[in-house]
Amino acid sequence: MRRAERPRPGWVLERRHATLAPLSRWSALAWSLCFSLPACAREAPRERAPAVTEAPPPAPPDTCAARIAAARAARPPWVDSAFDLARAEILGRARGEPAVFVREPAAATGRPADALRRLRGRPRELRAASLREGYLFAETPGDARLLTTELTLPMLFDEQVVFLQRGATVHELSRQVTRGVARYVHADGQTAEVRFADRVAVDRAELAAPLHLDLAALAAAEGLDRVRPLTRSRPDLVAELEAGGERAMALLSTDGAAVAVVCVDEATGPRLRAAQQATQGRRLAVAKLTGAVERAIREELPFDRPLGEKTAEKDGQRRPLWDAAYLRGADSFVAEGGVYPVFDSRGAPHPPEVCMEFIVDSFERATGTWYRSRGDTARERAPGALDLGALGLKNRRGVLAFEAWASAAPELFEVRRFTGDERVPFGRYAEFVRGVLEVGALAPGDVVAIHGRKRDGLIHQHGILVLRVDPVTGFPFDLADQMKRARRRTWDGIMAEAPLRSLLYRARPTDRVLIE
């Protein structure tokens, strides 16, 4: 595999989930208007190019290139802050959105660890001591992890209604108390949680002037792999956009935390636009894959291990028994002395999964291949566009078996095995993050295997599915896996319990798997 181009140094070490979609109507209109203007289509001069020592001629004043140059001259350049320098490490530790801050929130009145120890049960004081201008924010990976794993909305508020801003969206949350336990819920009844870079308040008006920009939503809407800001400014900013390996400078506008494309440099814009269109199919396919993961999470599909079992020795033994019970029309089955349901309380199929089976199920389910619900006319696995078993995958459970199969099927997966110095243990965290960025070069839809010794002294493998990457650094921050239950987690959430583990391989699905 071609080695990924290294990000610019300031971003190496140094997000509501965005829904992937085709290019927005307004952005597409902006593109078409730009390239229909005479100035945008002007022929290049026929004279010889100026000598290297000469300054390039200024762009005509009515072009996007000229507007970009003017904005860069008038706006402060982007200079990495302490948060920016630790951005990838923070995203690997703390679950949240990859927000970009025009100005970092002012420091809180106390240290997070001290505040959590002293102020439990005193929500107003805890807010003042742990939040920064309403943001759950920290400049170090350790503090960011502490805040996101320890703080909850009921610890911060006792008001009946609170407001949470995530990205460019503001959510109104209501307090509920069940059997003495408080929680805040969304309008659909789902429990709300506070994550890194979220901003919370008791009054919606307090969220009117956000300090952050939602570049992840812009990247998703416009089909961009990267959005690298070059000026730290409002109401507009200059950024480098990238899709499919093509790059172009652009002028962006801001409205609160929302960001939109104003225009793109005429010289490189057409190539970027072509790359956006060429990669649109994969982006839509990853959106369906993410939807399949979300359904598994909502259905709380169980990990395939007998109840009470402490080791991995019997992992994967319940699924064949579940399959047999499902097909013969039973509503339950027996395994290792325990009785397990075939369907959940809503009548949805409830198959147990190990980590790799969860990934295979998600790929297939994204295309419609899944078990019919109770009450349907037939007990069968409804066929969709993809069945990896029909393509030769015999062992759906084994991490190493999947690698062997995928390596022998290059038309389905591009496999990259990590070796030698590339195998950096998670315990050497800064090096691990750098390796993920520079060697891993992971993308949404990639299957990643980790391998190493756990606390029991045995070597274990585990499969992970990459869902999203940071549009600024390219760091994969939104991961899905199945351990105890299907979840979306961070690298820290998955690997911290066994820090001797490291990346083993990456399997990237081809268009035949994702699209065709």
CB 129: neighbour CB atoms within 10 A? 18
Q: Are strands 258-264 and 199-201 parallel, antiparallel or unpaired?
A: unpaired
pLDDT value, residue 57 = 66
Can you spell out the DSSP letters for 15-35? --PPPP-SPPHHHHHHHHHHH
Q: How many CA atoms lie within 13 A of 231 on its CB side?
A: 21
User: Which sign does the torsion angle of CA 423, 425, 431, 435 carry?
Assistant: positive
User: Which sign does the torsion angle of CA 284, 391, 326, 398 carry?
Assistant: negative
d(CA 167, CA 199): 9
Tokens representing residue 495 in the block: 């690997």
pLDDT grade for 427, boundaries at 50, 70 and 90: very high
Q: What average pLDDT does range 181-190 have in this prediction? A: 95
Helix axes 399-407 and 355-365, enclosed angle (nearest 10): 50
Lowest mean pLDDT among 31-45, 221-235, 268-282, 434-448: 31-45
pLDDT value, residue 1 = 41
User: Which sign does the torsion angle of CA 44, 47, 53, 59 carry?
Assistant: negative
pLDDT grade for 109, boundaries at 50, 70 and 90: confident
Q: Are strands 413-417 and 226-229 parallel, antiparallel or unpaired?
A: unpaired
Q: Which of 406, 363, 412, 392 is nearest to 510 (CA)?
A: 412
pLDDT of 513 above 60: yes
Comparison of pLDDT for 146 and 59, the residue scoring more: 146
- CB-count burial class (<10 Å; 0-12, 13-18, 19+) for 51: exposed
Residue 230, SS3? coil
Comparison of pLDDT for 14 and 260, the residue scoring more: 260
Q: What average pLDDT does range 185-190 have in this prediction? A: 94
The H-or-E segment that residue 495 falls in is helix 491-495
Task: Report yes or no: 87 and 473 within 8 Å, Cβ to Cβ.
Answer: yes
Tokens representing residue 413 in the block: 């997966």
Q: What is the pTM of this model?
A: 0.86
pLDDT of 56 above 70: no
d(CA 17, CA 294): 11
Residue 387, SS3? coil
- CB-count burial class (<10 Å; 0-12, 13-18, 19+) for 74: exposed
Q: Which of 445, 416, 401 is nearest to 506 (CA)?
A: 416
Angle at Cα 213 formed by Cα 208 and Cα 218, nearest 5°?
120
Residues 473-500 have pLDDT tens digits of 999 999 999 999 999 999 999 999 999 9
Residue 158 DSSP class: -
Q: What average pLDDT does range 217-222 have in this prediction? A: 97
Residue 226, SS3? strand
pLDDT value, residue 490 = 97
